[in-house]
Structure 1
């Protein structure tokens, strides 16, 4: 049964909208120098689908929803999990994260089996108080399904103004029934770089949990303290480090590798940028611990140390994220995060989707007491400082 009154009024609106759309496509085609000319049938199909949805679909549909869907589909067609169309709300949260005007939950997350996985929960933080545990897999944030989402966008969704709430849906263990955690964001001041002397040795043990603008200065403090305590060898733990800021990682690397390239950044334009270290670095035996959750900026540091032979990598193959994204603002408050460059290690190795293989492979065995990877690192350092 057709509603002739309502149906009869719609074609004029649709016609006007399609005319405007056709003009837009014409301008785009001309501006692109005819790149789309060979695909005019596909463009025509897009216009036809929009026309049919607007005129025939059983429920009214906002034009903005159709356009957003088309844009999202275009970006999804790249089959790049790190290139993402950001709706206005998500883009706003990401901008707050970049500016630093946000509160957090007190968890460190990585991606495992395409699921956001909690690698660490800091004691006393909002997530700790609400019972979030290491190993929990986050499948929803504020009702949004985040399975398959890229790490940076997920972190942006979890951060927000201090005092606001965020709802996490997590699955734990064998159960596939999500647990709902309503958590109030707080200002988090957890250090990203920590260190101590391993008892009865001259080995300094340092952990970098992620890279932000404070990490290089925090690491400088740690290094100075360990030197004052007589450090003769160092273990740098990058396990479960999801990455972070590129500049932070290069500043940290400058402490550990000799003068020369830290990382090459190859842009889609064909230009290459090189970040370099000076000759002022720590001249002691070093082992770097890595695993399958060491990613992005952590891999930049690990790759630089391995290629320059400044240290020995111990553990398992790293995650394999060797690309960089640029965020572009769009109209109406939306944004586009697009992969625009790739990282290459000092030896010009492309580690994307490949990871970095450690010099000494040591598998973690959760069922066995102790830390086999750390124990192997200690053994290697002791043999060198004797």
Structure 2
């Protein structure tokens, strides 16, 4: 989709892979990949992978041996020709699905190509933001691109995607669903959704278009309080966020509202770059892998925004959004306003293979500067305000804003007066 985006915080590592030959060979290759992924970034994976039973559990060795036996029987007795490519993809996906990790996925060549394109900010899709349900893995439309194909067709925020081109994608990885929605410019895709209040599903036939991912919008509200909305943490977001910050500073902003509602995350590097626009050189997040090995991430320079900040959040604010919120709150730079965040305090690493396929799974937990991990719990806002859906016009600027923005404006206005 547009925002046909995978909603995880991704750290990318590339490594070489040989051509897969036969079912047993497929399994050996993938098991090797799983072993090395535990140390992603700590080992020179570019040198290639070798099978080593010494580091494997008894159960893993048994799987490898059983696979070799199955392969022998199939090669000897199966009547028809064997499509090893299809067999391999099914084996890989089955292995990854057995990890008990809802964020894990194995991608075929076409799937990984589509998924990799999503962070470039321009691609052919329908222009809808997708978030994955916390408890049921449902794929919900978190928003649509203004003027995009999805909006024109009538897809609305809150719609739950059930099928794409006749394929049931309920419970599937969000990245897989997104790759199904993308395609060549001018081609059509059929989307079946369930909508609150409707007993029957609704089908939309949508023509794919090039989607220009404008992930940041901004404006100056009343009392010289700036407002920046960030819909996702993509590659293009870095430059767009910097432009917004610079423009509002030139307009002499006194306070700032950063809207991360319904922002399900994206790239960790982008979150770090955005924090660098606000915080001086500091530790902003660190991760720990299964062996307790930590990796720390810092902002790069001493540039700092010295104005009061409120960050708007809700239950769909997740992953990179929570990294961003956690750092600014830990250092007393911002107050969170809204409802409790999603609670995704883990990091997925993605691995690109030489044959064009890819692999992704959870490799570490992340912690705020004060050592807080919010996985499964989320951040409770400093100022709890539920959205009532009502819009009112501001007195000075005339902009229509919702009740949560209004409360943020009131809070910042009082904070600014107290400093005088």
TM class by shorter chain equals 0.7 to 0.9
Gaps of 5+ in 1: 1-16
Distance of 1:247 and 1:39 partners within structure 2: 34
**Is the Cα–Cα contact under 8 Å of residues 314 and 361 in structure 1 kept in the other structure?**
yes
1:208 and 2:230 correspond: yes
Distance of 2:389 and 2:79 partners within structure 1: 54
Tell me how many residue pairs correspond in the alignment: 367
Gaps of 5+ in 2: 1-21, 33-49, 393-400
- CA separation of 1:165 and 1:273: change in aligned 2, threshold 3 A: farther
- CA separation of 1:207 and 1:184: change in aligned 2, threshold 3 A: same
1:93 and 2:124 correspond: no
Distance of 2:322 and 2:377 partners within structure 1: 11
**Is the Cα–Cα contact under 8 Å of residues 263 and 276 in structure 1 kept in the other structure?**
no
For residue 235 of structure 2, give the secondary structure of its aligned residue in structure 1. Answer: coil
Q: How does 1:355-374 map to 2 (within 5 A)?
A: 355-366=378-389, 371-374=402-405
> In terms of Rg, which structure is larger?
1
* 1:34, distance to aligned residue in structure 2 (A): 6.2
* 1:312, distance to aligned residue in structure 2 (A): 0.5
- Superimposed CA distance per residue, residues 115-144 of structure 1 (whole angstroms, 9 cap, x where no aligned partner): 221122233211112111121111222333
Q: Identify the match of residue 104 of structure 1 among 108, 117, 125.
A: 125
- CA separation of 1:33 and 1:240: change in aligned 2, threshold 3 A: same
Q: How does 1:59-208 map to 2 (within 5 A)?
A: 62=83, 64-98=85-119, 102-112=123-133, 113-175=136-198, 177-199=200-222, 201-208=223-230
- CA separation of 1:383 and 1:34: change in aligned 2, threshold 3 A: closer
* 1:111, distance to aligned residue in structure 2 (A): 2.3
- In structure 2, the partner of 1:307 is 330
Structure with the larger RCO, 1 or 2 (CA within 8 Å, 6+ apart): 2
* 1:339, distance to aligned residue in structure 2 (A): 2.1
- CA separation of 1:124 and 1:227: change in aligned 2, threshold 3 A: same
**Is the Cα–Cα contact under 8 Å of residues 348 and 364 in structure 2 kept in the other structure?**
yes
For residue 209 of structure 2, give the secondary structure of its aligned residue in structure 1. Answer: coil
Distance of 1:248 and 1:30 partners within structure 2: 36
TM-score by length of 2: 0.76
1:222 and 2:244 correspond: yes
Distance of 1:354 and 1:292 partners within structure 2: 11
- In structure 2, the partner of 1:274 is 297
- CA separation of 1:35 and 1:373: change in aligned 2, threshold 3 A: same
1:295 and 2:318 correspond: yes
* 1:241, distance to aligned residue in structure 2 (A): 0.8
**Is the Cα–Cα contact under 8 Å of residues 261 and 274 in structure 1 kept in the other structure?**
yes
- In structure 2, the partner of 1:347 is 370
Q: CA RMSD in A?
A: 3.4
- CA separation of 1:216 and 1:38: change in aligned 2, threshold 3 A: closer
- Superimposed CA distance per residue, residues 58-86 of structure 1 (whole angstroms, 9 cap, x where no aligned partner): 99975554443332222112111111011
For residue 225 of structure 1, give the secondary structure of its aligned residue in structure 2. Answer: helix
* 1:44, distance to aligned residue in structure 2 (A): 5.6
